[in-house]
Amino acid sequence: MKAFVIITVALCLISLTGLALAEENALSTPPAPAAAAAPAPLKIDTGDTAWMIVATALVMLMTIPGLALFYGGLSKRKDSLNTIAMSFVAFCIVSVLWILYGYTFTFGEDLGGIIGKPTKLLLAGVGVNSISDLAKTIPEYIFIVYQLTFAAITVALASGAYIERMKFSAWVLFSLLWMTFVYLPVAHWVWGGGFLAKLGALDFAGGTVVHINAGAAALVGALVLGKRRERSLIPSNLTMVVTGAGLLWFGWFGFNAGSALAANGLAGAAFINTNTATAVAAMAWMAVEWIHAKKPTVLGLASGAVAGLVAITPAAGFVNVGGALIIGLAAGVVSFLSVAVMKPKFGYDDTLDAFGIHGVAGTLGALLTGIFADPSINEMGKGLLYGNPGQFLTQIIAAVVTLVYSGIATYLLFLIIKAIAGVRVTTEEEITGLDESQHGEKAYNL
């Protein structure tokens, strides 16, 4: 317990250091010239708009059905439908909350580096011809829905650590609270002009905002819920797992290439980096598993691909293809070790390795972005290998801040939900299976 307190205090001090550096950078920024020319008026580009509509649909496909099938096929037969339902309902909940207040608290004008102003509640002031300052060539409505899909999959990802033992009612309440009190502020810090953005943190498509955030929540929630009665994991439907993984890979092009927010060369770089890192990670996982377990499994190939997708996400629009190769290789090896070695050693029951893949690979990718960011790909990012060692320190600070905040906030939310409605099903319900006990249905009726 003392060690935990010491570590927590140390991490908080690192976070405060990040805040101080952000303030120092802000104060040292020279004022704009008094006679600066007025910027050109924003104009909707039909090509960019068409691409972003497609990218938005691709990211939606990642949650329903991609993640739902991937997680559902991994779970036991008696829990498969409940697992799918967790992703499905998370998308529905976030879709509503994002319109009500999620968008404005994330991308509204910055308030003290912490949260956005509530000036666009219920999308007040947004019209068919509105354009966001962050997406300068597409309708604001498209930008809003695109970012909605990111919030939805982030919430759904955490469910992989909770399945087979969490009340569905508790999950619904968790989705509402976690999206509000964890996802929104973290997304604002990094993407909405908050203190991590001012510090210079790089996160092209969600390594910090999505994967580290969800991974920390997954681990903490799994620890609070406790271990399952039946800890074996024999996937109910590997065909469904591979189908889900394929849909995730396909949809991820919208996730990463779409984050360029335009149909341009940067989107092309993010696209090829995503595919390259994913393929390398899948093969790296297969190779290490082949050595470790003497057989290469199809599940390992699919898991390695997801690890590669996660790791390249923060770096996709910042690194060159060489960087993507290294990130993919590291993701496949390190994520396998986190699942096959670290998890058994520490004994936590992260059912579908949401932390082991998303938390670990997300952190790895965020840190490697600080090393391999190539200014010839994106002038906004310059890593350690290109003469900017400070970027690596900034990436560490952003990752630590997200891990600490998400972990502590998730723990507090679980305590609140536990007091209100309870978080875990009864022993009888767990033995029966959550499909029947929570929904009165079965995924398989034969």
According to DSSP, residue 114 is labeled T
Task: Reduce the DSSP state of residue 110 to 3 states and report it.
Answer: strand
CB of 56 closer than 8 Å to CB of 258:
yes
Asked if residue 244 lies in contact with residue 65, where contact means CB atoms within 8 angstroms, the answer is: yes
Query: Angle, to 10 degrees, between the axis of helix 389-420 and the axis of helix 213-225?
Result: 40
Query: 25: which 2 tokens?
Result: 């950078």
**Residue that has been written with the tokens 């609140």 in this structure:** 416
Ranges of residues in the chain with a pLDDT under 70 are 1-40
User: Cα–Cα distance between 310 and 322 in angstroms, integer?
Assistant: 17
Given a contact cutoff of 8 angstroms between Cβ atoms, the answer to whether 76 and 351 are in contact is no
Contacts (Cβ under 8 Å, ≥6 apart) of 261: 48, 52, 134, 135, 136, 137, 138, 143
- pLDDT of res. 3: 36
DSSP notation for 8-23 = HHHHHHHHHHHHHHHH
Specify the pLDDT at position 249: 98
How far is the CA of 179 from the CAs of 68, 124, 135, 256, in angstroms? 18, 21, 23, 21
Buried residues in 416-426 as b, exposed as e (16+ CB within 10 A): ebeeeeebbbe
What is the predicted pLDDT for the residue at 14?
36
Full-model pTM: 0.89
SS (H, E, C) 367-411: HHHHHHCCCCCCCCCCCHHHCCHHHHHHHHHHHHHHHHHHHHHHH
What letter would DSSP give residue 74?
H
Q: How far is CA 12 from CA 90, 193, 366, 376, 422, in A?
A: 30, 21, 19, 35, 30
Question: Residue 39 corresponds to which tokens in the numbers above?
Answer: 């910027």
Q: In this structure, what are the phi and psi dihedrals at residue 30, rounded to the nearest 5 degrees?
A: -65, 145
Q: What is the pLDDT of residues 282-305, one digit of tens each?
A: 999 999 999 999 999 999 999 999
**Alpha carbon distance 298, 284 (integer Å):** 13
Reported CATH class of domain 41-439: mainly alpha
What count of Cα atoms within 13 Å lies in the side-chain half-sphere of residue 120?
A: 22
| Cα dist from 294 to 38, 330, 353, whole Å | 65, 21, 21
